[in-house]
Structures are given as structure tokens and as C-alpha cells.
């Protein structure tokens, strides 16, 4: 609670005391001033009423001020509490963030560990799957090899047929080409010979015709000369007979007609020779065209032969590729077979180890049963012979202690590896002890039995060590896998619990913040202390 400020009330009290003193002074004055006094009293009453009203207002304001101060104090306290809570929440939030990051890193590590463990488990499980897969692949590769071999055989047959056909075609084409070449050469030679013969005949005939023409021209010249001479003679001798002249003229005309006929015959022969020459030229042109056509066919055939050789080379390359693929498939087959053989050998070795393990266990169980029987028998003999003292002396002997230590080691090894029951181990110990009793009772001839027992124990120890190595490896792997699994499960469980706690804390914080926002601290909810005005103003009624 805050203290009440009384300074404004003191001024009011001073005013009241001042007015009271004035009233006392006025009482002692004369009565002439009674009217004035009444007015003053009325004014004083009015002033007092106003003062009382002001006092009431002051009291109300002071009470509201006090309440405001109280509310301020409470609000400061609440603000301090909230700030402290905020600091705490921020620290917790930072811690939770750090823990979340650590949890994330742990989750990543756990995921990596899980993946590694899963990979290891998958690797262990995938051995059989790889076996089956390799066997299936081998079967598929065998089928593919059979198919490839069949395809190769078919392709080889087709290639052989195609090669034979191509060879036959090439042989026929070469024969046809050689025949055409021969025909072309013969035709060329024949045409050349014919042209030579015809040209020679034409030359001879032309020479003959030229000679005949020259002779006829000479005859014509001679006849003209004779006519001129006759004319001269006729002119010189007018008296010569006209009949002789006519006879000469008729003879000349006949000779001229004969010459014209021979000329016509020669022209006809020349024309026929020219026609034959033109026909020979046409035949030469046709022969040349045939030669060009044959050359074109030869080129086409040579291109076809070239393409056939290219195809043959491609087929040979494909054959080589197929042979390489076959070799690769064969190598894969050998690899797969070697893998299968290795896996089968591993399986056989594992089976042999298991069988040896089971045989050793069975052997130990049989020995335990025999030991039980021998113990019972030796107990009966000991009861009959009453050789307890000798047994005690023998126990003090170092060989008996060695036997005990060896038997204890063997029992421990069998407990850890072979899982022989505790009863059977006790039976073995009692067997050894009973054998020691028997040996101690017999005094002589028992050293050999002790040696044999020691040898048997050493052999059993060696076998158990071998089995222990195999069993330890299997157990260690199984234990490591189980430990990793349990560790991962524990870490996941802890992480889930931590996460659940964080969520619960955040939910509680959210609920508190929402509750405070919906229901803020009001002055009505605070404990109120109402003080009357009389006590505040020290008024008496």
C-alpha cells in the first residue's frame, strides 16, 4: 500500500481555521453589523459547501490516484515477472534449438548408421539373391548363346548362299562381258575390214571411171578435131560427097550415145556405192552405241561387284563382332560358373563347419552321458572300496589340479560356444574327479590313463577353440547388429520423448500467452481496500 499525500488537505484545514477565527472575531463585534454578518455567514456556508464538494472531489481523485498507483505497481511487477518469464523462455528456446540441432545431427548419424547396418544386412541377404540372380543370368546367357549360335548358323548359311549366288552372278557377268568384248572387237574389225575393202574398191572404180572419162574426153576431143578438119575440108573442097559426111556424123552420134549410156551406168553405180557407204556408217554408229551401252553395263556391274565386296567386308566385320560377343559371353559364363563354384564351395564349407559344430556338440553330449555313467559306477566302487583318504591325497597332487584347471577351461569354452547345459558340465567335472579317484585308488598303471585323458582334453580343447572362433564371429556379428538396433531404437525413443516434451512446453506457453492476452490484469481483479473519506480527512460528524 502507498502512503497518502496530506499536503493539499493541510491547506484546506488552514483555510477552515482562518475562517473560524474570523467568525470568533465577528461575534465580539457590535450588533450593528448583524446583517452583514448574516450575509457573510451565508457566503461562508456557501463557501463551506463548495469546500465540502471540493473535498469530496479531492477524495475521489486521491482514491483514484491511489488506485492508479497501486495498479502501476502491480503492472510493474507483472511486467517484471513477464520479462523474467520471457528471458527464461528465450533461454529455454535457445536450449531447445540447440537440442533440436543436436537431435538433427544425431538423427543424421543414426540414419547413416541405420543405412550402414541395412547395407550390411542387405549384403548378407543379397548373397543368396546373387546366387539366384547369377543362376538365372547363366540360364539366360545360355539361352542367348543358343539363340546366337542358331542365328550365326543361319546367318552363315545365308551368307554362304549369298556368296555362292554372288559368285555365280559375277562369273556370268564376267563371261557376258568377255563375250560382249569379243563381239565388239569382231564387229569393229569386220567393219574396219569392210570399210577398207569398200574404200579400196571405190578407189579402184573411181580410178577406172576417171581413166574412162579421160579416154572419152580424149575421144571427144579427137572427134571435134576431126569435125573441124572435116569442116575445113568441106569448106576447102565443096565438091566432096555429102553422104560420107552424114555417115561420119551418124557414127559420131552413136558413139556419143554409147558414151552417155556408159556415163549413166557409172553414175548409177556411184550412187549405189554412196548408199552402201551411208549404210556402213549407220551400222558403225549402231555398233558404237552398242559398245557404249555395253561399257555402261560393265560399269554398273563393276559398281555392283564393288558394293558386293563392301557388303562382304561388312558381313565379315559383323561376324568378327559376333565372335567377340560370343567370346565375351563365354568369359561371362566362365566368370558366373566360377562365382557359382565359389559360392557353392562357401556353402559347402559353411555346411561342413555347421556339421562339424553339431558333431562336436553331439560328441560332447555323448561324452557327458558316458561321464555320468562312469561317475555313478565310480561312486559305487568308491563306496565299496572306502578310499576317501587316497582321494584326498590325490587331490593334493599337481596333476589333479592341472586336470581341474583344464576341465574348468573346457567347461567355460563349452558354455560360451557350444551351449552345453550346466548339468552336463558338472557331470564332466565329476567324471574327471571320479577318474582321478580311480587313478589315485589304483596307484599303479593309472599314469597311462591320465596321459590319455590329458591328450583327449587337449584335442577337445583344440576342436572347441576352432568352433569358438566360428561361433564368436557369428555371435559377434549378431550382437553388434542387435546392439546397433537397440541403440538406434533408444535414441529414437529419447528423441521422440524430448520432442514431445518440447511440444508440450510450447503448447503450455502458447496457452498461457493466449490466456493472458484474453484476460489481462484488470484493477477490478486486484484486492481493493476502500477507505472512507472521514478517515482520510480526519473529519468528525
pLDDT at res. 410: 44
Highest mean pLDDT among 51-60, 282-291, 471-480: 51-60
Q: Quote the DSSP letter at residue 95.
A: H
pLDDT in tens, 489-514: 676 677 677 767 767 777 776 677 67
Is pLDDT at 288 greater than 60 in this prediction?
yes
Asked if the model's pLDDT at residue 478 lies above 80, the reply is no
User: When comparing pLDDT for 166 and 5, which is higher?
Assistant: 166
Share of the chain above pLDDT 90, in %: 0
The yes-or-no verdict on residue 320 having pLDDT over 50 is yes
CB 47 within 8 A of CB 23: no
Chain centroid offset of residue 400 CA:
68
pLDDT at 31 over 70: no
The residues near 262 (Cβ < 8 Å, ≥ 6 apart) are: 212, 216
**531 to 55, 414, 475, 528: CA distances (angstroms):** 15, 94, 86, 10
**Cα–Cα distance measured from residue 139 to residue 282, given in angstroms and rounded to the nearest whole number:** 76
**Straight-line distance from the first to the last Cα atom of the chain, in angstroms, rounded to the nearest whole number:** 27
Q: Residue 404 pLDDT > 60, yes or no?
A: no
State the Cα–Cα distance between residues 541 and 1, nearest whole angstrom: 27
Q: Which residues contact 283 (CB under 8 A, 6 or more apart)?
A: 191
Exposed/middle/buried for residue 81 (C-beta within 10 Å: 0-12, 13-18, 19+)? exposed
| DSSP sequence for 395-425 | HTSHHHHHHHHHHHHHHHHIIIII---HHHH
State the pLDDT at residue 394: 42
Query: pLDDT class for 9, splitting at 50, 70, 90?
Result: low
Sequence spans of domains, the chain: 360-484
Residue labelled with grid coordinates 575445113:
232
Kindly report the length of the chain: 541
Q: Strand, helix or coil at 23?
A: helix
* pLDDT recorded at residue 473: 67
Give yes or no for a contact between 340 and 138, defined as CB atoms under 8 angstroms apart.
Answer: yes
Q: How many CB atoms lie under 10 A from the CB of residue 425?
A: 19
Mean of pLDDT values over 129-145: 71
C-alpha–C-alpha distance, residues 263 and 217, integer Å: 12
Whether 374 and 430 have beta carbons less than 8 Å apart is answered as: no
pLDDT-based confidence at 297, cuts 50/70/90?
Answer: confident
- Residue-wise pLDDT tens digits, 266-279: 777 767 777 777 77
Per the listing, cell 575390214 goes with 193
What mean pLDDT is predicted for residues 216-224?
73
Q: What is the enclosing helix (H) or strand (E) of 26?
A: helix 7-27
Confidence band (pLDDT; 50, 70, 90) for 375?
low
Instruction: Tell me the backbone φ, ψ of residue 80, rounded to 5 degrees.
Output: -65, -45
The kind and range of the H/E element at 223 are helix 34-236
**Do the beta carbons of residue 417 and residue 471 sit within 8 Å?**
yes
pLDDT at residue 162, rounded to an integer: 73
Contacts with 63 (C-beta within 8 Å, 6 or more apart), sequence order: 531, 536
pLDDT confidence tier of residue 360, bands split at 50, 70 and 90: low
pLDDT band at 422 (very low <50, low <70, confident <90, very high): very low
3-state secondary structure of 318: helix
Average pLDDT, the chain: 66
User: pTM of the prediction?
Assistant: 0.26
Q: Please check whether residue 434 is in contact with residue 379, taking contact to mean a CB–CB distance below 8 angstroms.
A: yes
175 φ, ψ (degrees, to nearest 5): -60, -45
Q: Is the pLDDT of residue 46 over 80?
A: yes
Q: How far apart are CA 538 and CA 238, in angstroms?
A: 220
Q: pLDDT class for 15, splitting at 50, 70, 90?
A: low
Q: Evaluate if residue 530 carries a pLDDT over 70.
A: no
- Best CA proximity match to 390, nearest among 346, 348, 440: 440
**Most confident region among 375-379, 472-476, 498-502, 535-539 by mean pLDDT:** 498-502
Q: Which residue has the cell 540441432?
A: 101
C-alpha closest to that of 459 among 371, 368, 360, 369: 360
Is the pLDDT at 190 greater than 50, yes or no? yes
Amino acid at each position: 500500500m502507498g502512503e497518502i499525500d496530506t499536503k493539499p488537505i493541510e491547506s484546506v484545514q488552514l483555510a477552515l481555521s482562518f475562517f473560524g477565527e474570523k467568525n470568533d472575531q465577528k461575534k465580539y463585534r457590535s450588533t450593528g453589523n448583524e446583517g452583514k454578518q448574516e450575509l457573510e455567514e451565508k457566503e461562508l456556508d456557501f463557501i463551506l459547501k463548495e469546500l465540502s464538494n471540493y473535498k469530496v472531489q479531492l477524495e475521489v481523485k486521491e482514491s483514484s490516484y491511489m488506485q492508479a498507483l497501486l495498479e502501476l505497481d502491480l503492472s510493474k511487477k507483472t511486467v517484471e515477472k513477464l520479462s523474467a518469464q520471457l528471458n527464461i523462455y528465450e533461454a529455454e528456446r535457445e536450449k531447445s534449438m540447440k537440442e533440436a540441432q543436436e537431435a538433427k545431427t544425431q538423427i543424421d548419424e543414426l540414419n547413416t548408421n541405420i543405412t550402414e547396418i541395412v547395407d550390411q544386412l542387405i549384403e548378407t541377404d543379397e548373397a543368396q539373391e546373387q546366387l539366384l540372380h547369377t543362376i538365372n543370368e547363366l540360364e539366360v546367357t545360355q539361352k542367348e548363346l543358343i539363340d546366337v549360335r542358331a542365328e550365326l548358323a543361319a546367318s552363315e548359311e545365308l551368307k554362304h548362299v549369298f556368296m555362292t549366288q554372288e559368285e555365280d552372278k559375277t562369273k556370268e557377268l564376267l563371261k557376258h562381258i568377255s563375250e560382249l568384248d569379243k563381239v565388239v572387237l569382231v564387229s569393229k574389225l569386220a567393219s574396219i575390214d569392210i570399210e577398207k575393202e569398200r574404200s579400196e574398191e571405190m578407189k579402184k572404180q573411181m580410178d577406172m571411171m576417171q581413166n574412162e572419162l579421160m579416154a572419152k574426153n580424149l575421144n571427144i576431143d579427137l572427134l571435134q578435131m576431126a569435125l573441124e578438119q572435116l569442116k575445113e575440108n568441106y569448106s576447102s573442097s565443096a565438091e566432096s560427097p555429102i553422104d560420107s559426111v552424114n555417115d561420119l556424123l551418124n557414127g559420131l552420134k552413136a558413139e556419143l550415145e554409147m558414151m552417155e549410156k556408159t556415163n549413166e551406168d557409172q553414175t548409177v553405180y556411184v550412187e549405189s556405192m554412196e548408199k552402201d557407204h551411208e549404210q556402213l556408217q549407220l551400222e558403225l554408229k549402231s555398233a558404237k552405241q552398242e559398245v557404249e551401252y555395253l561399257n555402261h553395263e560393265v560399269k554398273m556391274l563393276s559398281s555392283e561387284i564393288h558394293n558386293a565386296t563392301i557388303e562382304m567386308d561388312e558381313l565379315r566385320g559383323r561376324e568378327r563382332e559376333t565372335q567377340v560377343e560370343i567370346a565375351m559371353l563365354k568369359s561371362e559364363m566362365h566368370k558366373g560358373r566360377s562365382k557359382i563354384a565359389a559360392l557353392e564351395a562357401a556353402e559347402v564349407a559353411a555346411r561342413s563347419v555347421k556339421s562339424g559344430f553339431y558333431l562336436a556338440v553331439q560328441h560332447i553330449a555323448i561324452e557327458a552321458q558316458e561321464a555320468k555313467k562312469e561317475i555313478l559306477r565310480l561312486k559305487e566302487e568308491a563306496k565299496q572300496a572306502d578310499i576317501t583318504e587316497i582321494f584326498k591325497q590325490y587331490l593334493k597332487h599337481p596333476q589333479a589340479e592341472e586336470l581341474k584347471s583344464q576341465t574348468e577351461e573346457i567347461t567355460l569354452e563349452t558354455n560360451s560356444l557350444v551351449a552345453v547345459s550346466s548339468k552336463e558340465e558338472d557331470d564332466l567335472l565329476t567324471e574327471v574327479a571320479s577318474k582321478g579317484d580311480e587313478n589315485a585308488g589304483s596307484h599303479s598303471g593309472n599314469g597311462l590313463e591320465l596321459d590319455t585323458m590329458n591328450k583327449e582334453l587337449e584335442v577337445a580343447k583344440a576342436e572347441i577353440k576352432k568352433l569358438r572362433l566360428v561361433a564368436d564371429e557369428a555371435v559377434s556379428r549378431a550382437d553388434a547388429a542387435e546392439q546397433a538396433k537397440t541403440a538406434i531404437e533408444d535414441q529414437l525413443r529419447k528423441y521422440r520423448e524430448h520432442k514431445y516434451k518440447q511440444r508440450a512446453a510450447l503448447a503450455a506457453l502458447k496457452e498461457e500467452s493466449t490466456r493472458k492476452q484474453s484476460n489481462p490484469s484488470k484493477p477490478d481483479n486486484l484486492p481493493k481496500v476502500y477507505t472512507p473519506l472521514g478517515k482520510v480527512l480526519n473529519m468528525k460528524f
